Each structure stands twice: as C-alpha cells, then as structure tokens.
Chains A and B, each alone.
Chain A
Amino acid sequence: MILIGIGVVVLGFVISLLSLGMASTVNGRLVMVLLGLAVSLFGIIGVINRAFLKNPIWKR
C-alpha cells in the first residue's frame, strides 16, 4: 500500500510536469499543476499515511 501511495505521489508530479508539454496557456498549465498537486497530496495523506496508520504503535 505504501508503494502504491508513492506511485500516486509521483503521478501527481508527472501530471504537473506534463503541463509543460500538453498545455500552452498559463491557465491551462495552472489547472494541470493544481490537479497534480491534489493527486500528490491525496497520495501522502490518503494513501501513504493511512497505510502507516493501519498498525500504529499505540495499538500494539
């Protein structure tokens, strides 16, 4: 699950990077970069952190 989360975080970065080639206007790039950031943040908070919290030390 952690590895999947890392993949999601990297995917967000790739989306932002692709904005350089796929969008030619500032607004288009802005939308893609914000989308990429949202995906990366979901990867950290929603996937990776959740995976680490599955068996936390305080429940052992």
Chain B
Amino acid sequence: MKQSLVLVGAMLALMAGAFGQAPGAAQPAAAPAKPITDVDLKSVETPKPEARAKGDADGSLTGTAADVAVADAKKGLTIADLVNQAGQNKIAINFVWTLVTGYLVMFMQLGFALLETGLARAKNANHTMMMNIAVYGIGMLAYWMIGFSLQMGGVGAIANLGGTPPLSAEHAFTLFGKPFGVFGQNGFFLMHNGTNDVAVMVLFLFQMVFMDTAATIPTGAAVERWKFSAFAISSFVFAAFIYPLYANWAWGGGWLSNLGANFGMGKGYVDFAGSGVVHAVGGLSALAIAMVLGPRIGKFTRQGKPQALLAHDLVLVITGCLILAFGWFGFNPGSTLGASTSGNLRIGAIAVNTMLASAGGMMSAMLYMWMVYGKPDASMTGNGFLAGLVAITAPCAFVNPVGAVIIGLIAGVLVCVSVAFIERVMKIDDPVGAVSVHGVCGIWGVISVGLLADGRSNFGGAWNGVNGSVTGLFYGDAGQLVAQLIGVSTLIGAVFSASLVLYLAVDLFVGQRTSVKSEMEGLDLPEMGALAYPEFDLASRGVEV
C-alpha cells in the first residue's frame, strides 16, 4: 500500500511536469503593459543613408521605420502614423490578393478558348477562338457601362477592401412584408456617384472576370453554328443584364442573400465563389442557346440517333482543362476578397478543397467512362475534372476536405450521366458539355452547400448579416438547404427563362444560326474571313501552299 501511494505520487509529479504548471500555482505578477508613446518612437533607429548607399545584400536595411510615411516631418514618426500604416498595409494586402487572383481568373479565358477550340472541328477553329476573345471585350464594356452597377451598385461597404461607400444604392420593393433588393443603382461607367474610387476599381476587376467566365460558357454549347453578329449582341445583353441581376440577388445585397436575415432560412442563399452565380447562370444560358440553335448538321441521323463529330485536337482540350484548374486557384480563394481579415486565413483550406474536389471529379468521371464504355475517355475525364471544380466553387469555404472530395466524386459521375441524358434523351447538341459541366454541376454545387457545410467556417462571425457559420442539413440546419433550393429555382425559373427570351428575340431580328452552306464549309472563312490552319486546310483541298 505504501509503495502504491509513492508510485501515484511520483506519477502525479511527472504529470505536473509534463503539463506545465498546475492550476492555482503561484504565478509571478505580470508587469502592467506600458503604452507606447510618440517619445518611444524617437528612439527607433533607422538605417544611416551612407549604410543604405552601399546596398542591402541581406535585406536587413530595407523595410524599416524609415519607410513608414509620416504626416508631419517636423513631428517625425508618431503613433498615428504607425496606426495609419497598419491600416494601409492590411488593405494593401487585400487589394493585391484580390487583384492577383483576379488576374488568374482572367487567365481562365485562355483555358476556355483552348478547350472549346480543341473540341470543335478544325474548320471552325478561328471562329471559336474569336468568340472567346471577343466575349472578353464585348462583355467587359457592357459590364462597365451597365452590368457592374446593376450587380454591385448597392452592395454597401466591403470591409476587406477598406469599405466601398459609393456602392450604396440598392433598389428594393416590399414583398411579404420584407425588402426585396433587385438591382444596384450606383457605378455606371465607374464614374457615377463617386465610384471612381480605388476600392471600387479592385472590386470591378475581380467581378468583371467572373462575369466574363459566365459569358463565355454559352459559346461552348453554340460552337460551330452561332452567327458571329448574333453572338456579339447576345453576349452584350447577357453581360449587361442577365448575369448582373442574378449576381446582385446573390452577392450584391439582393433578396436571395437576405433569405436568412428576412425569413430565418440559414444564412440566406450562400454561393461563395459562384457555382450558381457564374457557372449555373452560364450553363443554363448555354442550354437556352443550344435549344434555339438546334444541333449541328450531321450530329443526329434522320432517326434521331446521335453521332460523334470528332474533336480536332485533344491536346488543346486537356491543356485548356489544366489552365482552367490553375485559374480556379484565383476563382475560389480570391473570393475572400482579402487575405488579411478575420476568417481570411481559410484561403489555404479553400485552395485545398478546390484541388481535392477536382481530383474527385476527374477520378470518378474517368472510372465511370472506363467501366461503362470500356475506355477512360479523355474529353470526359477533362469534363469530370472541371465538374469537380464547378461543384466545389460554392461550398469551398464552408466544407471540410472529406466533404470536398465527396462533392467532386458526385460531380464527376453527374457530368457523365448528364451529357448522355442531354444528348440522347433531350437530343440537344452541346459540343463541349457546357450545360452538364457548368449548369448541372453548378446546381449540384449550390445544393451541396445546403447539405455539407460543416459550420466550422468563421468569416467575422456572421454571413449575409446572420450570426454564426454556414451549416448544412447534415450538420443540423435544414433551413440552409431550403435557401439553396430557392436559389436553384431562381436560376432555372428566372435565369434560364430570361436567357431563352433574349436568344429568341435576337433570333427573330438578326437570326442566331449561320447558313447551311457556311456550316458545311466551316465558319472560319464565311464568318471570319480567314482559316485557323490555312496550310493544312488548303493542302487537303489540293492547293499548293
């Protein structure tokens, strides 16, 4: 017994040592914090000019107190100067983060161009590339003139960017006793009502490249048969009105984002980086234009059986997919709009979730095609890769890594099944699978937030003005799922319908489809006046080059 007591005593002593001081142990009294004063700052040494003149090989002389801007040279460095510098540094970090990730998203335009062109036939390569560069310019000008204002003109202050006070006018009406924001009113031409503002410019660049991603998606479904003039008009209206309105409802302070605050439905409609706002909007618009245009000549037999119209360059297709995946590291982590604010350190988790979902999508699509059709089809593997990325775009900030992989795995199978359904049952010709990748998997991404958001994210303690973290059905909040489904219903009911009306109207006045002769010849010469590959094409026609 005595030996046991000694042993227990020794163990307690060891545990006390292992876990540090036991609670209640006497602690040395902490010295009261001494506030820094301007006088203290006078004693901070800065590098001597003669030392700096010799060069700073090890970097120890660059970036010191001498680089802090002082408001009054006579007073020298003050606490106020330091505080201002800290604030400026925070906003500068967020500006740089948002801009650089925006540049990455812009680079995705190349990915789309290569992907779509590779999946088209060689005789349409110039036309397809032209649509992908033209939509950038056309869409940007429409968005600058009108779209940005409708989308973000009433978003209010965005703290990560130092506040965007000029964007403060949201048009709303009252329904069911609650305000329903429908469009913003400030920011036309980036000059209206004080919007020529540094923070607004950063926001514009980032939002513009997102809009451009959505605007380029319909070109994939319409490839090889869309009249260029009709494409230009349609893209302008899409960028000026259709995309911005839904984006306002979800991101610009509109009614969908306030479903939580106004109707107690979770944290309102949540779409972190745009599975719905960007991809489903683009994908449903792609469905509308594919319906209006009809299938390419030769796509279906007289009995309605689909035929393969072979892609002309799978190297371009896979290169495009990989470029898009690279750009997605701007798309998703960049949507924090900053790297230096509460919650923004989740950028690492967001990036990892993004890549895990892409791997899940690629693997499941590849295995599905392998098992069902006997070969791991390259274009569908690429589409599965993109499907995982599209699906994780909305939930990337709110799910854990296991959830991200599940979302990607489901998206990869979903895109394969959807492509077959749209082609064989609906008899719609979508040469690149845009409707399935962006529309169907975008909708899946929106729904997955309502299922798999784990309630562990913390972006300043609230989302869409509702305290707490975004939590899905499987983690206890069924209301979040309903909010997401209302967003999906809005995408299908409002965005698809508006797109269809737009494309039918342009078809009525301009005509959406090229002539049969142009289509048979390939659109490069009749629509663009130049072949993409003149040597190959002319040589195949027996012309010496």
Chains A and B form a bound pair: yes
> Looking at the complex, which one of A9, A19, A58 makes contact with B493 (CB distance below 8 Å)?
A9
Query: In this assembly, does B295 line the interface, its C-beta being within 8 Å of a C-beta of chain A?
Result: yes
- 1/0 per residue, CB under 8 A from B, across A20-45: the answer is 11000011011001101100110011
How many Å lie between the Cα of A37 and that of B490 in the bound state?
A: 9
How many Å lie between the Cα of A13 and that of B38 in the bound state?
A: 62
Indicate if the CB atoms of B494 and A13 lie closer than 8 Å.
yes
Indicate if the CB atoms of A40 and B489 lie closer than 8 Å.
yes
> Looking at the complex, which one of A17, A41, A44, A56 makes contact with B486 (CB distance below 8 Å)?
A17
Indicate if the CB atoms of A37 and B492 lie closer than 8 Å.
yes
Query: In this assembly, does B121 line the interface, its C-beta being within 8 Å of a C-beta of chain A?
Result: no
Indicate if the CB atoms of B489 and A13 lie closer than 8 Å.
yes
Contacts of A12 in B (CB 8 A): 489, 492-493
How many Å lie between the Cα of A38 and that of B465 in the bound state?
A: 31
Indicate if the CB atoms of B485 and A56 lie closer than 8 Å.
no
How many Å lie between the Cα of A13 and that of B428 in the bound state?
A: 24
Shortest distance between the CB of B300 and any CB in chain A (Å): 4
The DSSP consensus for interface residues of chain A is: helix
Indicate if the CB atoms of B265 and A29 lie closer than 8 Å.
yes
Indicate if the CB atoms of A33 and B486 lie closer than 8 Å.
yes
Indicate if the CB atoms of A52 and B291 lie closer than 8 Å.
yes
Shortest distance between the CB of A57 and any CB in chain B (Å): 5
Shortest distance between the CB of B471 and any CB in chain A (Å): 13
Contacts of A19 in B (CB 8 A): 482, 486
Size category, A interface: 20 to 34
Contacts of B302 in A (CB 8 A): 58-59
Indicate if the CB atoms of A26 and B478 lie closer than 8 Å.
yes
Chain B residues bordering chain A, tally (CB within 8 A): 36
Query: In this assembly, does B533 line the interface, its C-beta being within 8 Å of a C-beta of chain A?
Result: no
Contact A30 B492, CB 8 Å, known A20-B263, A52-B291, A57-B297: no
Shortest distance between the CB of B363 and any CB in chain A (Å): 29
Contacts of B493 in A (CB 8 A): 9-14, 16, 36, 40
Indicate if the CB atoms of B489 and A36 lie closer than 8 Å.
yes
Contacts of B481 in A (CB 8 A): 30
Query: In this assembly, does B176 line the interface, its C-beta being within 8 Å of a C-beta of chain A?
Result: yes
Shortest distance between the CB of A23 and any CB in chain B (Å): 10
Indicate if the CB atoms of A9 and B496 lie closer than 8 Å.
yes
Contacts of B295 in A (CB 8 A): 56-58
Query: In this assembly, does A1 line the interface, its C-beta being within 8 Å of a C-beta of chain B?
Result: no
Output the nearest chain A residue to B504 by Cβ-Cβ distance.
Answer: A2
Contacts of B263 in A (CB 8 A): 20
Contacts of B488 in A (CB 8 A): 37
Indicate if the CB atoms of A56 and B294 lie closer than 8 Å.
yes
Indicate if the CB atoms of A58 and B301 lie closer than 8 Å.
yes
> Looking at the complex, which one of B176, B297, B304, B501 makes contact with A6 (CB distance below 8 Å)?
B501
A-B contact sample (5 more), CB < 8 A, given A6-B497, A13-B490, A34-B485: A6-B501, A40-B493, A58-B302, A59-B302, A59-B304
Give the interface of B toward A (CB within 8 A): 175-176, 259, 263, 265, 287, 291-292, 294-295, 297, 299-302, 304, 426-428, 478-479, 481-482, 485-486, 488-490, 492-494, 496-497, 500-501, 504
- 14 pairs from A and B in contact (CB 8 Å cutoff): A6-B500, A9-B493, A10-B494, A10-B497, A17-B490, A20-B175, A26-B478, A37-B489, A37-B492, A45-B426, A49-B428, A52-B291, A53-B427, A57-B295
Ranked nearest first, the 3 interchain pairs of A and B with the lowest CB-CB distance are A13-B493, A16-B489, A21-B176
